[in-house]
Amino acid sequence: MAYKTTIRIAISALVLGAALISSTAPGRADIATAEQRAACTPDAFRLCASEMPSIPAITACMRKNFQNLSPACKAVFPK
């Protein structure tokens, strides 16, 4: 049971990383760092877990909930 949870968290973190990469400013799509993913992963689970694993849906959800993101995630997630 714990193994499935760990796998789900790992996959979700990868999906979130991909969402961040795909939504960064043009020319910066390759620089979503581990720090950026770490800053936004808790917010993604808190606000957008129902959208996982769809990258476009997570991205839209994070943008829709921008005001509810943590300060750390707001700093790295584009409006």
Q: How far apart are CA 56 and CA 35, in angstroms?
A: 21
- Tens of pLDDT, residue by residue over 2-19, are 655 555 655 565 556 555
CA dihedral for 38, 43, 45, 49, sign (positive or negative): negative
Task: Say what the pTM is.
Answer: 0.62
Token pair for 66:
């921008």
- Tens of pLDDT, residue by residue over 24-50, are 444 444 456 888 888 888 999 999 999
